[in-house]
Structure 1
């Protein structure tokens, strides 16, 4: 059986073809559903004719003799046999002689030639049933991709010439304002202009919980607006949007074959011609070796041999097994960029992860505000903290750093201060003027370079610290902390439970924070204060260890070199850094580190099922081949060894799409 190529364009055409309704207002059977039923008619017809023929043979009906019997079984054979013979002939014309179509054609026509009409029909009928099972499995995979296609928006309300007009999303440019009504899909990635919005992002992340965001936050194409009319400023063109990128990755994933899959395809091309020549030898060589040689008997054995040896079960079930694994992962918010990475995940024994955005939320919040140290009289007293924060916020308003955004969330009563002449001092902080006072905001290095004495108790602070000096006097500091993700502890436990021997954290954050997080999560070894090139060096050292297979998990642009260098690169956040996503081999769409262990489980289950199918196919075929060559197996055993094993293998592969991974 040949493997069906899944093409998104074809699926899209099928989807729209199936949406037709008549003008009478009633829903009728779609052309798609009618087409599906028609595919079963030839097999049903052949099955009924075969059963009727066997019944007429059994009861020895008078008219069912000689030419009537031949015509009856030929009529039963043609609906299922002609398409296979035609496919075999087309393959021969294209220079591909030894295919499973040729094997099945020779075997069944040969059965007719020696008068074994029911067996000839049965072999081809069950072969056709196997094709139908394969189509059903592929259609199931197609339906998973259709679910993604269904979230592709087909129009955008864009603000042009003083009004909102409906246009194709492909025509909207970056920076234009679009409107999304309740229940509509967001057509392009952008930034929320409305005060707040609630969106269903299940199609993108697999997360069913609605996502409520505030003004200025990112909104992604394919999300569904759940609450009120919202306005969005586009930040990407349609072709670069989140949903377009995910669809592209899904389509490309089917084209990236695993080593096992590629081996089986190559094996079948060598194996099939060998089988054909062995069958020819089994027919004629015994003439030279046995005294009671009967051509018909040895031809029958050779035909059985051909049917048994058809590599259908291997050629079909292995790609379907991997595709089932890809589909199961997608439904769990995990995108493998190819079947080869399902295999790679099974070999990983060392997991290295970034900290910020991977096991922590990457959303900074003020933990402590400490003011009143050397404060001037104007800043002392009950209102000291509020005024201190106004100085700090005035400076941080000029910065785009994530820590600055956290500080600006502080609510201070009264009129805000304004900062002027603000300059950034690389790697240290900011310098500027607020209320005619010189203000320094930054780290200890900034204070030291300006000869400002820093209290000794700040040395023991683990969290990120922002220090403030006014007119060369240290006046206070704030500590900024990042929160662990809700499933961070669960993620480390499950990764360890999956058999990973070594879990490591490498971070660009200060080493004290990195060590604290690593200790809290129970990570084996951690190192902080690393530049991207430092992370790369550490991962290359790990890879150089004998037998090490390293997976690296990161989320930012600075993680891209390490993602590319590791044996398996995993990007946290299918909606995160474009560079990280493009570089990684696996995308965790939900930003949940606990999905890493799930990806390992899916990879291992996929590989297990693939090898079960290989063992089943070879095991049964070898046994029945020996029986067939010795004359102990009939065509019915051959049918089971070929089509029966193929059906069992397909059903085994389909299990992946039904498994629970919680």
Structure 2
């Protein structure tokens, strides 16, 4: 119990105590803290319960009774009896604080709140201020109780937000359906999903169709209908019919497991404000300790009627009010709240530091396809030259069937519906994907090119230059070095793309769009969305150059993209945003922030969450420091008593905590989000 209490105090106030972090502290069994988080969380839960705190509650009851007798009925017990009663209450409320102070003193660590509180309260007993000494310890311990409870609730709310992994899966094994632990399910297994059941592992749908609730992953309550072959992810809920899924990833490698890991890791990455406050607390605490000594000793040389007892009392007041826990606890609590608030709306911050970064962003750079547009292309027209449309689709469809690009999927889907020869029967070899250009390969012995005009130019294929003037996305096809036609593809804007741009403009943020499509296509999209700057016809390395130029120009920049080719630019930006937590693994791994529901308007939400969090954190810093400085001055001047000191210390801490906790309970409405 003592150890658990130590870990709880340490977790809440470890920085101001100058001790090592919880994750690095040795556990009783010799392992590091994060290896046994279940045991730790069990202790955390106990720490917040009333039954564990019965000694503190008993001490509070004794103190209240003694104060009522003394000040309400003028009943003062004999000195020895009062001392026994107050010592009993003192030990009930403060034995753990005294024990921790002793342990730290053995390690020559004197500049921590436990030691300061122990000195202050024992000093009060030494000068006969029994009730005040007990009051300091009781209310300090109550304050710590509330602080620890708030921190634990914040951590639990973040973990519970995404820790929705089911603990069983129905798997076809040995000719029967067996209920197994998801951890033992293998790739290729067939899993059955009953209506209302959570998906345990990632896979592809074997049933003809099924509807899923993906709110836990994306923050969206709208049902997601999947057709046969569609991707299904752990954490989704099967809504209304029996379905079967073929497993494509192990339980530990599922998207949900990785997302949960991201959220848990996020709480360990401190913001610049947290790091500053931690460093500040380690300097501040010894300074106020020595100032308290000066308050007691320095007046001996200047005050004619110097009385040691009076100045010692002032020094004790100074020690009580000096504890910086209101800062050290409420600030990380504010960031926990910000991470949790964002997570509930499908936005994963990989660290508190990125909440801070988003408050400073003045430019948001977005990719076009898959970020501002749906990335779901459809064939609008097929133009053949010298060969038939069916032959053109055979060559193009067979080659594109080896690619997962959205344009390729659109061509393959269209070809399968409009030609007689199944694409899988066509022999494709020597496939080569040329970044920013297209595909090159051999189909049934013929060399085939499928891509943009740059691809044909690269391989010396001539074509009508009037084709360069088209506005829509165009896939050029060449066979054996000869242009044979093209396929016109169209994409659609995402429903909230315009809302995202207008929301960013309302925050005085410039929007820049980069696209691999030709400039005319990019210009049309930018015009519809009223984007400030647009650059089309870019290769992946060109995007990196544009982003670097913006950074060199002094812009604090966030980049949002969804494809594998966007990963280098995401890594380069001050804040890299991956659109679609269920999308490209490379981009999600590289990104600092993941928007799971693929909505660009959530970029605005992410910025507003960051700004709210920072505002609350600085409110707490100003509140705590202002009150402490005032009461420190009053204490040194003999105006404030220990009663005022403890009420100010605990009161400020509780106000700061309540202010931080409210972030977790904000109900976001899209039109009045965090105004």
Query: Normalising TM by the smaller chain, what interval?
Result: 0.7 to 0.9
2:539 counterpart of 1:531: yes
Report how many residues are paired: 636
Counterpart of 1:26 in structure 2 is none
1:651 CA drift (Å) = 0.9
Counterpart of 2:130 in structure 1 is 117
Which residue of 408, 411, 422 maps to 1:404?
Answer: 408
Rate the CA distance shift 1:584–1:47 in 2: closer, same or farther, 3 A: same
> Given that residues 264 and 314 in structure 1 are in contact (C-alpha distance below 8 angstroms), is that contact kept between their aligned partners in structure 2?
yes
After the TM superposition, which residues 156-555 of structure 1 pair with which residues of structure 2 at under 5 Å, given as runs?
156-366=169-379, 368-369=380-381, 400-410=404-414, 416-418=420-422, 420=426, 422=428, 427=437, 454=464, 456=466, 458-466=467-475, 477-500=486-509, 502-546=510-554, 548-555=555-562
Rate the CA distance shift 1:9–1:359 in 2: closer, same or farther, 3 A: farther
After the TM superposition, which residues 136-175 of structure 1 pair with which residues of structure 2 at under 5 Å, given as runs?
136-148=149-161, 150-175=163-188
Rate the CA distance shift 1:75–1:440 in 2: closer, same or farther, 3 A: closer
Rate the CA distance shift 1:354–1:202 in 2: closer, same or farther, 3 A: same
Structure 1 CA distance for aligned equivalents of residues 539 and 174 of structure 2: 48
Structure 1 CA distance for aligned equivalents of residues 619 and 364 of structure 2: 28
Which TM-score applies when normalising by structure 1? 0.87
> Given that residues 322 and 606 in structure 1 are in contact (C-alpha distance below 8 angstroms), is that contact kept between their aligned partners in structure 2?
yes
> Given that residues 437 and 471 in structure 1 are in contact (C-alpha distance below 8 angstroms), is that contact kept between their aligned partners in structure 2?
yes
2:658 counterpart of 1:651: yes
Structure 2 CA distance for aligned equivalents of residues 58 and 272 of structure 1: 35
Matched position secondary structure for 1:553: strand
1:253 CA drift (Å) = 1.0
1:182 CA drift (Å) = 2.1
1:404 CA drift (Å) = 3.3
Matched position secondary structure for 2:498: helix
2:609 counterpart of 1:609: no
1:454 CA drift (Å) = 4.6
Rate the CA distance shift 1:155–1:143 in 2: closer, same or farther, 3 A: same
1:62 CA drift (Å) = 5.4
CA RMSD of aligned residues (A): 3.3
Structure 2 CA distance for aligned equivalents of residues 205 and 106 of structure 1: 52
> Given that residues 158 and 336 in structure 2 are in contact (C-alpha distance below 8 angstroms), is that contact kept between their aligned partners in structure 1?
no
Counterpart of 2:586 in structure 1 is 579
Matched position secondary structure for 1:165: strand
> Given that residues 12 and 149 in structure 1 are in contact (C-alpha distance below 8 angstroms), is that contact kept between their aligned partners in structure 2?
no
The 10-residue stretch of structure 1 (356-365 or 472-481) with the greater mean CA deviation from structure 2 = 472-481
Which residue of 618, 631, 634 maps to 2:625?
Answer: 618
2:87 counterpart of 1:83: no
Structure 2 CA distance for aligned equivalents of residues 311 and 201 of structure 1: 43
> Given that residues 73 and 118 in structure 1 are in contact (C-alpha distance below 8 angstroms), is that contact kept between their aligned partners in structure 2?
yes
Matched position secondary structure for 2:143: helix
1:206 CA drift (Å) = 1.5
> Given that residues 627 and 633 in structure 1 are in contact (C-alpha distance below 8 angstroms), is that contact kept between their aligned partners in structure 2?
yes
1:398 CA drift (Å) = 6.3
> Given that residues 394 and 418 in structure 1 are in contact (C-alpha distance below 8 angstroms), is that contact kept between their aligned partners in structure 2?
no
Structure 2 CA distance for aligned equivalents of residues 13 and 645 of structure 1: 31
> Given that residues 509 and 530 in structure 1 are in contact (C-alpha distance below 8 angstroms), is that contact kept between their aligned partners in structure 2?
yes
Rate the CA distance shift 1:83–1:58 in 2: closer, same or farther, 3 A: same
1:654 CA drift (Å) = 0.9
1:374 CA drift (Å) = 6.8
> Given that residues 375 and 491 in structure 2 are in contact (C-alpha distance below 8 angstroms), is that contact kept between their aligned partners in structure 1?
yes
Which residue of 42, 63, 66 maps to 1:50?
Answer: 63
Rate the CA distance shift 1:468–1:350 in 2: closer, same or farther, 3 A: closer
Structure 2 CA distance for aligned equivalents of residues 312 and 468 of structure 1: 68
> Given that residues 161 and 340 in structure 2 are in contact (C-alpha distance below 8 angstroms), is that contact kept between their aligned partners in structure 1?
no
Rate the CA distance shift 1:600–1:374 in 2: closer, same or farther, 3 A: closer
1:653 CA drift (Å) = 0.9
Rate the CA distance shift 1:475–1:37 in 2: closer, same or farther, 3 A: same
Rate the CA distance shift 1:556–1:388 in 2: closer, same or farther, 3 A: closer
> Given that residues 321 and 610 in structure 1 are in contact (C-alpha distance below 8 angstroms), is that contact kept between their aligned partners in structure 2?
yes
1:638 CA drift (Å) = 0.8
Residue-by-residue CA offset, 1:63-87 (whole Å, 9 max, x unaligned): 7221121122222222221111112
Structure 1 CA distance for aligned equivalents of residues 107 and 280 of structure 2: 20
1:220 CA drift (Å) = 1.0
1:96 CA drift (Å) = 2.3
Counterpart of 1:24 in structure 2 is none
Structure 2 CA distance for aligned equivalents of residues 183 and 75 of structure 1: 56
Counterpart of 1:65 in structure 2 is 78
> Given that residues 154 and 333 in structure 2 are in contact (C-alpha distance below 8 angstroms), is that contact kept between their aligned partners in structure 1?
no
Structure 1 CA distance for aligned equivalents of residues 491 and 292 of structure 2: 70
> Given that residues 572 and 588 in structure 1 are in contact (C-alpha distance below 8 angstroms), is that contact kept between their aligned partners in structure 2?
yes
1:401 CA drift (Å) = 4.2
The 10-residue stretch of structure 1 (407-416 or 599-608) with the greater mean CA deviation from structure 2 = 407-416
Matched position secondary structure for 2:622: helix
Structure 2 CA distance for aligned equivalents of residues 431 and 47 of structure 1: 81
> Given that residues 159 and 260 in structure 2 are in contact (C-alpha distance below 8 angstroms), is that contact kept between their aligned partners in structure 1?
no
Rate the CA distance shift 1:165–1:446 in 2: closer, same or farther, 3 A: same
1:613 CA drift (Å) = 1.1
Rate the CA distance shift 1:117–1:438 in 2: closer, same or farther, 3 A: closer
1:412 CA drift (Å) = 8.2
Residue-by-residue CA offset, 1:471-528 (whole Å, 9 max, x unaligned): 999886542112211111111111111121x211112233322222122111111112
Rate the CA distance shift 1:349–1:387 in 2: closer, same or farther, 3 A: same
Structure 1 CA distance for aligned equivalents of residues 336 and 417 of structure 2: 58
Which TM-score applies when normalising by structure 2? 0.86
**Structure 2: which 5+ runs fail to align?**
1-8, 13-21, 24-32, 671-675
Rate the CA distance shift 1:575–1:289 in 2: closer, same or farther, 3 A: same
Rate the CA distance shift 1:364–1:255 in 2: closer, same or farther, 3 A: same
Residue-by-residue CA offset, 1:430-479 (whole Å, 9 max, x unaligned): 78889x999986655778879776594x4442121245689999886542
Structure 2 CA distance for aligned equivalents of residues 264 and 238 of structure 1: 39
Residue-by-residue CA offset, 1:103-161 (whole Å, 9 max, x unaligned): 11111111121121221122112111211221221232133234246411222333333
Matched position secondary structure for 1:36: coil
1:375 CA drift (Å) = 8.2
Rate the CA distance shift 1:445–1:338 in 2: closer, same or farther, 3 A: closer
Which residue of 108, 115, 127 maps to 2:121?
Answer: 108
